Structure 1
Amino acid sequence: MYQEQETNDLHTTFDLKGFLFKLISYWPLFVFSVAIGFGIAYYINVRKLPVYLIENMVSIKDDQNPFFTTNTSLTFNWGGTTDKVNTAIITLKSRSHNEKVVDRLQYYMRFLKDGKYQLVDVYGKTPFDVKVDTLNPQILNTQFKIVFKDSTQFTISTSFDDDKQRVYQVYNTLKEKEYKYIEAQEFSQTYRLGQEIKTHLINVTLFPIEDIKPRAGQTYYISFINFDSAVIGYLNIQVEPEDKGSSVLKLRLVGQNKARLVDYLNTSIAVLSEDMLERKNLFATKTIRFIDSSLAEKSKELKDVEDELNAFKDQNTIYNLQSEGQKITDRLNTLDLQKEAITRELNYYNTLENYLINRTDYRDVPAPSVAGIFEASIVDGVGQIVQKAQDRSKLEYSYKEGAPIFKDIDRQIDAIKRVLQENITSSKGLKNQEIARINNEIYQYEVEIRKLPKDQQELLKIERRYKLSQGTYDLFLSKRNEAGLVKAANVSDVLVIDIAKDTGGGQVGPNTQLNYVMAILFGTLIPFVLVFLLTFFDNRIHNVKDIERLTKIPILGVIGKSRLENNLAVIEKPKSAISESFRAIRSSLQYIYKKQGLKGAKTVLVTSSVSGEGKTFCSINIASVFALSEKKTILVGLDLRKPKIFGDFNINNNIGVVNYLIDDATEDEIIQKTMIDTLDVITSGPIPPNPSELLMTERMAELIESLKGKYDYVIIDSPPLGLVADSLELIKYADATIYMVRQNHTKRGMFALINDKYKSGEVKNISLVFNFFEGKAKYGYGYGYGYGYGYGYGYGYGHGYHDDDRKPSLFHRVKSFFKRLIKLRKN
């Protein structure tokens, strides 16, 4: 349970304060990362071209024809202004509309020249204009270099330096794609402005511009791009009402060339205006087309009847009807014209009904006014169907067939058709009744006609046909004039309020400040994440707080980092901070002994988790501080696998504990003197094949008891507890056990074993010593807990009480240099 608790602490506890100190300690990394970010941001900013926003403003108004009457209605106002505004917004964003604009402006062609960092768009600033031969192909995505020799001559060139053939896409009429194989080659020819360039690569003509004169040496580049790609680049045009529900639209376009943006916005409105006027004149145009064809037929029919009438009068002596016959003729002519008009209406109803039943495209529905029909329900129904058909046709460029929006329009058209068919049926019934009445009157007058002489009857028949043809011809001619008048008087519903114009400003990018903000953000975030990951996945001990979170074993002291080449820190630098730390540990050990009530000799065992944590270093210096206090002390090296202590005291390891344990030497033979009179050493001796078994023998116990009888303190340097079981055999001889923990070396998981032993009571009187500690390390912060006289550097007594063995910082070395320099000048 204890081990599980410690493991949970390990995973759930996060030292926020330590992490913040660690972040601060990595400040050079943050500075370097932010500097790199600023460098990248600057590199991007100076190379980015300016981005401009150009806009214009138009009003979609409901401009009715001033000659609009119930008798000349060849236009419709379906849905009012709101519907027109919505239609205009959709149209301006549609692919079909933008294709017209791109095609008219030839925006599938690019004009470039060399800039400071890259090629820049010089549309509208070239000393020439280009006329494209759309009947011949142009190669795509290939730059043609144009270098002027003088004000009229130039060289156009390009190159293909591959060794093999390449496939190039070209335009035929700039829209139909085809493919060609072009071998590697150099193309260069000289032309004059106005001279046609006709090659297998490019077919254009460059014309001079009066306002801009070319100079010798000027270089430009032209190229053709995919037509569809050029259109896609302008589909992001912003079209929004000025206010909610307003008929005023504001168009915005963003790009790098203001002249190109200005022309596009103004041309887009011009194309919209033309299209809306054309749709407004749709019925008038179709009526004129229909009447023109009908007039030709009626004119021939009228001429034939007129020739027949003249021939009859020439062959007979009768030229005019008698008064009674004339009255009958006038009345019959009136009835014939009425019947002709009603028949024309019925024919229209039948044609319209058949059209609605059998056709799916309703854009060519004949206009009711052609047949003289002005019934509101019929006129409105036809107008609505045509409008919906036009809307559906425009959406076909933006949506795939089967899209929900098409189904919605089709449902609306079907609903209008059902209402219109009911109106047609009702109107046809009324017209048939009227024809029956007229036929009855005509029959009565024809009975009267049969009472007249034969020659007058024949003349009356011919004149009836002549009058009917004349009346029909006059009606069509009147309708033709009305349609022409309506079309001529119609004006577009698009009113330009503000044209797009380069007023000198409009720059909206690039956002250089945002780039610098992003540089700071990512320049800070990257090292932050890096430090966080290092902290999160770091499982080593870095400070005292780490130890306190992982174990309940008390901390005996903290030892600073030694910069000596050997382990004799107390002997060689007795006034150093490290020496004071060992003296503090000595005092703490004496407190432990006193608390246990021990009298006479005392033993100390030093162990650790793994090798390299300072176990031997601590053993030597603890023995040294006891010996320097005039206490007889002996250091026993019982790490039989990796003996070390003999090297620091310049003694040999030929004979030691192993020899004694195997009864190959006496106790006196294995004890060796050191440079301190009160400090003796017993080395481990030769490495045995069975170190654990040797340490478990009775002679080991006899040796410890014998040494306790001769010395005040017995210091045991034992093997690492986390690697071998030797230390567990030796702990029973120790009055106090020191467990070494080294900063940035000992892993947190190593505490599991010692915690378990401590919890179960197998290890008693154990304390921790934190070794190799640097208070300014990048792993946390120092703690003034009062262990010993101090630890690290600058803690404890302070300057003047012990030597400072730290390496001076660069700042202190520079400061000392200037102090010495000033002092020399004064002297």
Structure 2
Amino acid sequence: MNQQKTTDNKNSLIDLNDLFQKIIFHWPLYFLVLIVMVSGAMLYLKYKKPMYLSSAKLYLKDEKKGGGDEMDALKSLSLFNSGKNIENEIEILKSPILVEKVIAANSFNIRYYIKGTVKNEEIYNRPPLTIRVLSDSTKAGNYIFDITREKDLLKIRQVNATTDISQQLTVKPGQPFTVAKDKFVISSLTTADPANTFRIQVDSVAEYANEKIEEIGASLVNRDATIILVSYQDPVPERSANFLNALLDAYNEYSLDDKNKTAFKTINFLTVRIDSLKEELGLLEKQEENFKIQRGITDIDASSKLALDQVKEADARLSEANMQLSALDQVEKYISNPSNDYPFAPVIGNIDQTLTSMINRYEEALKEKRRLSLSLKPTSEILKNVESQINDTRKTISDYIAGYRRNAGVVQKETQRKVNQIQGKIANIPTYAKEYINIKRQQGVKEDLYLYLLKKKEEASVAYASNVVDNKVIAPAFVPDKPISPKKPIVFIGFIALGLILTSAYIYFKYFLNASVLSKKEIEQVFDLPVIAEIYQQDEGANNLSLQNRSVLVEQVFNMRTNLKFLLTGISGTPTILFTSSISGEGKTFLSVHLGNSLTMGDKKVVLLELDLRKPKLSHFFGLDHNIGVTNYIMGNKTVEEIIKKVPGTEGLYLVSSGAIPPNPIELIEGERMADLLNHLKNQFDYVIIDMSPIGIVSDAQSISNYVDCALFVVRYNFTLKSKLQPVAENLRKGFFKKMGIVFNGIEQDTFYPYYYYDHYSYTEDKQHKHTWSSLVKKIKQRIV
């Protein structure tokens, strides 16, 4: 068990030096892959759409990062707060509303191409065809038109990319046509080549905007700055700069428009009230004039003047109290309506600073919510927190107004009581004087209110005129001259690296994860036995038993013969050698023949015993039949002399065939007649070589282990499964055989294994043709596959 664990640990390790040698051996494969990958990189660069990046710098005035105390003369007169949050402004820059506006205004969602066989070429500047959307352009989209010119007509094919359904139209240039729910018109220039087919792609503004948002980058230049670096990438360099400049212009327009709407709303309100008061004052002046003419009055007595002054003063205080209550009503109405989009600007009455501060906080919270809603979902926790702050501030203002209204009501009642007292005094004045005082009283109130509103209107007008864009584009977008992707060096490096990785992975799987045995080391990791010989695979001349032919095969068989004699040291009498394997087809019959033939050197007599009674092949190797042999002797039908055959064309080599295939080979092999046969053969020959059935399948070889001096286990290159070796190794460790050895057979020439172990010392039949073109091609092929 411990030995098995040790073997498993050895198998799990990778010899990096061995892997590196295999990589060197397969250098033609790497060279071929390198050529393929470089060609692939060139094709990728040729057909891959390049992306160009343009950038611009935008300066923002941010109260949190400085600049809040720098107010010019006009800004100091403004009634409205213009503080900004840099993080929110970055989100506004990338908001779908703003991007959709830019795309729709500049028709960035319409693209023009010249159709090609593999790749369509996009035309941005001065396209030969232009299309206009006559219906709502913001809702039209996702159309593809292929257009060809035929004389004065345009043939339009509307392509549906999802359903592959097309619609054919023929129109004149400038003639409107309708597709689905949208209406278009195409204008054609005379410079358009009639031979070309043009493609026009009209995308949905909303969908295209969502795609473009991902390609817009916005970030602070550094943590302490209020400068935003805005970038955008596009396949067309000119469009990348134009899109970015249009986006910044739209953002500045949005910022200024947001500030102007509040001032404009206030000015409109004041204008309406002033015009109304002007009419009322005109009526009062006309009424005073008619009164004086009718009564013939040019002046009134001192008491009337005094009463008039007192009542005017009381009316002014009462009017101020009423205006304060009116302003409170406006504030309460404003905060009770969450749908108000713009800030509240009190222009009537003198609201105290505490309430003004509360209103400012409420308006800032509303503005923050409006800005965040451009980029966040309604379910966002940030929006929920802002909404909670708005509700808390609204409740605080409502409670404060309720208390303020109670105090203002007390003042109003006291003032009204004083007015009533004065009016009682006026009752003693003559009737005509009383009427005159009432007229002057109304006129004075209206004049004061008129002058007050005029003043507020001037302040609002100054504020409106002073509204300027705080943002400054300090570095406009430029037209890039080089694409940011794909980068040629990175593409080539990536393709080459991928090729090297895949090729190395192929080599790793080919050798280290191969299910078959590929090296002597893999055998030694399983068996604790010597590998006495490594035999090349030879396709031509394998059946040639001439020992004068000094081929690689003959030399390797002689080497096996020499090592076998060392293994047989100490064996007395005729050595009995058994060949077996894990499965059929590993070459034990072939090796039995060639080893027996090599042992005939020195006038030795060698007999080959075909004892694979289940699937005999030895007789067939010599072109003989196996009908008479071992089974005939065991059954008593033939004598030993009758079953021994001389191998044709050889000296000293004999054969005992298997005979008829029996139904019970194991019983015959274990019988006494088999022992007698082996003893007879040992007495007549110098060597007995047994071609036995595979030990990995049946136990025939173990049955005669007592009569065998040496067992040779055959492993075939790239044929024997590694999974079969371990069970056989465990079986051999039980000690059935006296001596054992391994023969590594069928090693393919020009592969990695013989290259690193034998190419420095090899033989060939014809040294003059050692390096022919066919052999060179074969070697290179072996190093590739």
Question: Which structure 2 residues correspond to residues 124-523 of structure 1 after superposition, within 5 A?
Answer: 124-126=125-127, 132-134=133-135, 140-143=142-145, 145=147, 155-159=153-157, 186-191=168-173, 197=176, 199=178, 203=183, 214=191, 217=194, 221-236=199-214, 237-356=216-335, 358-368=336-346, 370-373=347-350, 375-421=352-398, 423-425=400-402, 427-428=404-405, 431-432=408-409, 434-435=411-412, 438-439=415-416, 441-502=418-479, 505=481, 507-523=483-499
Q: Which residue of 2 aligns with 1:703?
A: 677
Give the secondary-structure state (helix, strand or coil) at the position aligned to 2:79.
Answer: coil
1:506 & 1:373 partners in 2: Cα distance? 62
RMSD (CA atoms): 3.5
Calculate percent identity across the aligned residue pairs. Answer: 24
Q: Is the 8 A contact 1:743 1:773 kept in 2?
A: yes
How far, CA to CA, are the matches of 1:155 and 1:607 in structure 2? 87
Shift of 1:313: 3.0
- Quote the Cα distance in structure 2 between the aligned partners of 1:435 and 1:146: 83
Structure 2 distance, partners of 1:218, 1:432, is 87
CA contact (8 A) 1:56 1:252 kept: yes
- Are residues 474 and 572 of structure 1, via their aligned partners in 2, closer, same or farther at CA, if it must alter by over 3 Å? same
Quick one: which amino acid aligns to residue 102 of structure 1? Answer: I
| CA gap 1:99/1:396 in 2 versus in 1, 3 angstroms | same
Residue of structure 1 in register with 2:111 after alignment: 110
Look up the equivalent residue of 1:631 and give its one-letter code: K
Pick one of 541, 544, 565 that aligns with 1:590: 565
Structure 2 distance, partners of 1:567, 1:216, is: 75
| Match of residue 530, structure 1, among 499, 502, 506 | 506
Judge conservation of contact 1:284–1:486 (CA < 8 Å) in 2. yes
| Counterpart amino acid of residue 40 in structure 1 | G
Q: Give the equivalent residue in structure 2 for 1:633.
A: 606
1:75 to 71, 80, 83: 80
Name the aligned partner's letter for residue 141 of structure 1: Y
Name the counterpart of 1:671.
644
* TM-score where L is the length of structure 2: 0.87
Post-superposition offset of 1:254: 0.9
CA distance in 1, matches of 2:754, 2:306: 124
Q: Give me the whole-angstrom Cα distance separating, in 1, the residues matched to 2:132 and 2:592.
A: 96
For the 8 Å contact 2:681–2:688, the answer to whether it is kept is yes
Alpha-carbon separation, structure 2, partners of 1:806 and 1:563: 20
SS at match of 1:772: strand
Offset of residue 213 of structure 1: 8.3
Contact kept, 8 Å, 1:302 with 1:470, in 2: the verdict is: yes
Deviations 1:23-43 (A, max 9, x none): 444444433334333333222
- Tell me by how many angstroms 1:92 deviates: 0.5
Q: Match of 1:347, as an amino acid?
A: S
2:144 counterpart SS class: coil
Distance 1:68 1:696 in 2: 117
- Alpha-carbon deviation of 1:15? 4.5
Shift of 1:437: 5.4
1:660 partnered with 2:633 = yes
Deviations along 1:469-501, one digit per CA (max 9) or x if unpaired, are: 232223223322332232123212122223224
Following the alignment from structure 1 to structure 2, what is the Cα–Cα distance between the partners of residues 335 and 591?
A: 139
In 2, Cα distance between equivalents of 1:627 and 1:455: 165
In the alignment, which residue of structure 1 is the partner of 2:525?
549
Alpha-carbon distance between aligned partners in 2 of 1:347 and 1:129, rounded to the nearest angstrom: 59
Aligned to 1:821: none
- Give the TM-score normalised by structure 1: 0.83
The structural deviation recorded for 1:434 is 4.7
2: CA distance between counterparts of 1:103 and 1:626? Answer: 96
What is the SS of the residue equivalent to 1:594? coil
- The 2-side partners of 1:9 and 1:501 are apart by 63
After superposition, the Cα gap between the structure-2 partners of 1:362 and 1:383, relative to the gap in structure 1 and judged at 3 Å, is farther
Distance 1:390 1:133, change over 3 A: farther
1:249–1:764: structure 2 CA closer, same or farther, 3 Å change rule?
Answer: same
Q: Would the alpha carbon gap of residues 725 and 566 (structure 1) be closer, same or farther in structure 2, given more than 3 Å must change?
A: same
Inter-partner Cα distance in structure 2 for 1:42 and 1:572: 58
Question: Equivalent residue for 1:172?
Answer: none
Give per-residue Cα distances to partners, 1:767-810, cap 9 Å, x unaligned. 11222234742468655xxxxxxxx5553xx66xx857998454
Distance (whole Å) between structure 2 residues aligned to residue 96 and residue 73 of structure 1 = 28
Query: How many angstroms apart in 2 are the aligned matches of 1:725 and 1:813?
Result: 43
Q: 1:613 aligns with which of 586, 599, 603?
A: 586
For residues 647 and 205 of structure 1, what CA distance do their matches in structure 2 show? 88
Structure 1 contact 576–805 (Cα < 8 Å) conserved: no
Which residue pairs with 1:92 in the alignment? 93
Whole-angstrom CA distance in 1 between matches of 2:235 and 2:279:
63
Letter in 2 for 1:644: K
1:731-761 deviation line (CA, Å, top 9, x unaligned): 2111122111221122223233432333222
Aligned residues of 2:75 and 2:467 also touching (Cα < 8 A) = no
Q: Structure 2 residue aligned with 1:581, among 556, 564, 569? A: 556
Q: CA deviation at 1:403?
A: 1.3
How far the C-alpha of 1:429 sits from its partner, in A, is 5.5
For structure 1, list consecutive stretches of 5 or more residues without a partner in the other structure: 169-182, 784-791, 816-827
What SS does the aligned partner of 1:508 have? Answer: coil
Deviations 1:302-359 (CA, angstroms, capped at 9, x unpaired): 3443444344334323343223322332343243233323321222123323443x33
Q: 1:489 to 1:205 in 2, by over 3 A?
A: farther
**Aligned equivalent of 1:30:** 30
Q: 1:375 & 1:519 partners in 2: Cα distance?
A: 73
Kindly state the Cα deviation for residue 568 of structure 1 after the two structures are TM-superposed.
4.3
Task: Work out the CA distance in 1 between the residues paired with 2:589 and 2:132.
Answer: 92
Alignment check: 8 A CA contact 1:325 1:449 kept: yes
Find the aligned partners of 1:638 and 1:215 in 2 and give their Cα distance.
89
- Cα distance, 1:189–1:657 mapped onto 2, change above 3 Å: same
Aligned to 1:688: 662
Distance 1:568 1:625 in 2: 12
Instruction: Report the alpha carbon displacement of residue 702 of structure 1 after superposing the two structures with TM.
Output: 1.3
Query: Deviation at 1:665?
Result: 1.2
1:789 paired residue number: none
Cα offset, 1:424, TM superposition: 3.8
Distance 1:139 1:559, change over 3 A: closer
Does the aligned pair in 2 maintain the 1:6–1:551 contact within 8 Å?
Answer: no
CA 1:373–1:512 in structure 2 vs 1: closer, same or farther (change >3 Å)?
A: farther
CA pair 387-125 structure 1, distance change in 2 beyond 3 A: farther
Q: 2:729, 2:339 → 1: CA distance?
A: 88
1:464 positional shift: 0.7
SS of the counterpart of 2:568?
helix
Cα offset, 1:73, TM superposition? 4.6
Structure 2 Cα separation of the partners of residues 740 and 763 of structure 1: 15
**Alpha-carbon contact 1:3-1:752 (below 8 Å) kept:** no
One-letter amino acid matched to 1:518: G
Q: Distance in 2 between matches of 1:215 and 1:108?
A: 22
**Structure 1's 764 and 94: CA in aligned 2 closer, same or farther, altered over 3 A?**
same
- 1:712 CA displacement: 2.0
Q: Secondary structure at the match of 2:143?
A: coil
Query: In 2 relative to 1, CA 161–650 (structure 1 residues): closer, same or farther, beyond 3 Å?
Result: closer
Query: For the residues of structure 1 that align with 2:620 and 2:132, how far apart are their CA atoms?
Result: 95
The residue type paired with residue 380 of structure 2 is: A
Q: In structure 2, how many angstroms separate the alpha carbons of the residues matched to 1:432 and 1:291?
A: 26
Change (3 A) 1:341 1:779: farther
Distance 1:654 1:365, change over 3 A: closer
Q: Which runs of 5+ in 2 are unaligned?
A: 62-66, 778-785
Aligned counterparts of 1:139 and 1:58: Cα–Cα separation in 2: 32
* 1:765 lines up with 2:739 in the alignment: yes
